[in-house]
Amino acid sequence: MRDPRNQLLKITSTAAMMALSCVLTLAVRIPSPTKGYLNLGDCAVLFGGWLLGPVWGSVAGGVGSALADLFAGYPVYVPGTLIIKAAMAFFVSLVPARFGRNGRKYPGIAFLAVSVFAEAFMVAGYWLYEAAAVGEGFAAAFAGVSGNVVQGIAGAAGAYFLTAALSHTAILRPYGLGGFGKGQANMFIIPDTQEELVPQKQWERVQRLRENRRRPTKGERQGWFSGLLFCADCGSKLHFTTCKNFDGKQDRYVCSKYKSGRGDCGAHYIREDLLREIVLERIQAVNEYVRRDVEGFEEEWFLCRRADWQASINDEKKRLEKAKKRITDLDTLISRCYEDTVLGNLSRERYVKMTQGYEEEQEHLKAEVETLEEWVENEEEMDGNMDSFLDVVHRYMDVPELTPTIVNEYIKKIIVYAPDKSSGHRQQKVKIFWNFLDEIDIPDIEGTVVYQRPLKTQKTA
């Protein structure tokens, strides 16, 4: 099997291909002049060899075909069939599963060539087996060669068309195959065909969290805010650092681009215990405000955000329309350049240089359009985001202590600014972005938190 990690899939697929080889062999039986018979089992043998690999493909093809001979009343052919069919499957298993750039091409020509070789081996193998083991003699056994040739042609052609048809579908994806050509472009998804098991927003949130894998450190501790902290200067993530000798108070997050002073950013860091205190304080403050007046919270938040939010959406829509218009204009320019080249008004070198620039700009605009469309769609769902945020608040109305679950439910990301030591105290700003609502810009609860501590003074003689 191309993907040997799934043991259950390996066993069940081998059994299924074994049964398919037996059934196709018994389904169509044409008697041959040498007391044998012609069949279509080679289609399953060749396909199973390519699908399951050298070991399991050989087992499925050899055993399935041998069982067919036994059930059909030809026990004398069982040993020969077992060896010949297993060898055929082994030969085809050597064909690469995919090739070409990014592995997107189906190895059709290679599969067909090896299938023809395997069928030629089958013809020669049965001729020798019937002559020596069955006792027909070489001259008498040669009478069955023509029938085996016909069977070989039908088996190779049938296996080729079967493999080519299935390789462009998602049926073979569990085996590490399928999806050739344009990959997922060949697939289509029909939304809302069944009742959702979890809310869509919750699903999207979980997928974002899964992108930030939290690996255990040497100190056997994990940071609660891993993947949620970002540097205000360079935009990079802050990585969790600890040590076995630390008691937990020294656990901290450091900018990933600091690299002990050798990187591109300064020593942005913040301690884990301090960050827990800040986040717990802000969550408790938000919950208290909502408890006092839910309707007032909604109204005040919409008043603070509605104008800026609507203006921002309008600006992005204008950018989106402008980008789409530019893409259309570039298509027109490329067509005109091609016409000028054909008419001789533009040199070949100039045409290549101009179209290359146009195509690069077009690819950049297409990526920008995709990003803008996603952003506008998400922003226009803001009304529903308020209900989702209130659901979280109602679930955790009383939060005596912080947990990783509560952090993931409330916090979208946290921006950590560089410390300011000009006043004699180490002051550092932290800006919290909440799930569903981003910033909560209301007078009683500011999104930006500033904390400070006195700098350590050195002893003097």
Residue 180 has a pLDDT of: 41
Contact 91, 121 (CB under 8 A): yes
Alpha helices, DSSP H, located in 72-174? 78-93, 108-132, 138-141, 145-167
Residue 181 has a pLDDT of: 42
Residue 459 has a pLDDT of: 43
Residue 19 has a pLDDT of: 92
Residue 58 has a pLDDT of: 92
Q: What is the mean pLDDT of residues 94-122?
A: 73
Q: What is the mean pLDDT of residues 141-168?
A: 84
Strand order in the sheet with 229-231: 229-231, 411-416, 425-434, 448-454
pTM of the predicted model as reported, rounded to 2 decimal places: 0.42
In the chain, domain spans: 7-186, 295-386
* pLDDT band (50, 70, 90) for residue 4: very low
From the number of C-beta atoms within 10 Å of its C-beta (0-12, 13-18, 19+), residue 236 rates as middle
Handedness of CA 128, 133, 138, 144 (dihedral sign): negative
Question: Percent of the chain scored above 90 by pLDDT?
Answer: 10
Q: What is the mean pLDDT of residues 442-450?
A: 51
Alpha helices, DSSP H, located in 344-410? 348-379, 382-395, 404-410
Contact 244, 235 (CB under 8 A): no
Looking at 200-209, 256-265, 436-445, which range is the least confident one? 436-445
* pLDDT band (50, 70, 90) for residue 91: very high
DSSP 3-state percent helix, strand, coil across the chain (nearest 5): 60, 10, 30
CA distances from 200 to 187, 195, 385, 389, 438 (A): 21, 11, 12, 14, 18
Q: What is the mean pLDDT of residues 73-81?
A: 90
Residue 379 has a pLDDT of: 64
* pLDDT band (50, 70, 90) for residue 186: very low
Rounded (10°) CA dihedral 414, 419, 425, 427: -30
Contact 327, 334 (CB under 8 A): no
* pLDDT (tens digit per residue) in 366-378: 888 888 777 777 6
CA dist., res. 366 & res. 384, Å (int): 29
* pLDDT band (50, 70, 90) for residue 184: very low
Residue 85 has pLDDT above 90, yes or no: yes
State the helix-helix crossing angle for 54-71 and 78-93, rounded to 10 degrees.
150
Q: What is the mean pLDDT of residues 162-187?
A: 59
Name residue 224's amino acid. Answer: W
Question: Percent of the chain scored above 70 by pLDDT?
Answer: 71
Pairing of the two strands 411-416 and 448-454: unpaired
Pairing of the two strands 238-241 and 269-271: unpaired
Please give the CATH number for the structural domain made up of 7-186: 1.10.1760.20
* pLDDT band (50, 70, 90) for residue 391: confident
* pLDDT (tens digit per residue) in 207-255: 776 666 555 555 566 777 887 888 888 778 888 877 766 666 778 888 8
Name residue 11's amino acid. Answer: I
* pLDDT (tens digit per residue) in 280-312: 888 888 888 777 777 666 666 655 555 666 677
* pLDDT band (50, 70, 90) for residue 60: very high
CA dist., res. 46 & res. 85, Å (int): 9
Residue 105 has pLDDT above 80, yes or no: no
From the number of C-beta atoms within 10 Å of its C-beta (0-12, 13-18, 19+), residue 76 rates as middle
Q: Which two tokens stand for residue 211?
A: 């992108």
How many Cβ atoms sit within 10 Å of the Cβ of residue 357? Answer: 11
271 forms bridges with which residues in the sheet? 252
Residue 100 has a pLDDT of: 42
Residue 117 has pLDDT above 90, yes or no: yes
Contact 117, 173 (CB under 8 A): no
Residue 231: what are its φ and ψ, rounded to 5°? -75, 135
DSSP E strand boundaries for 237-334: 238-241, 252-255, 269-271
Alpha helices, DSSP H, located in 53-107? 54-71, 78-93
Residue 35 has a pLDDT of: 56
Residue 432 has pLDDT above 50, yes or no: yes
Residue 417: what are its φ and ψ, rounded to 5°? -90, 165
**DSSP three-state, residue 210:** helix
Q: What is the mean pLDDT of residues 169-191?
A: 54
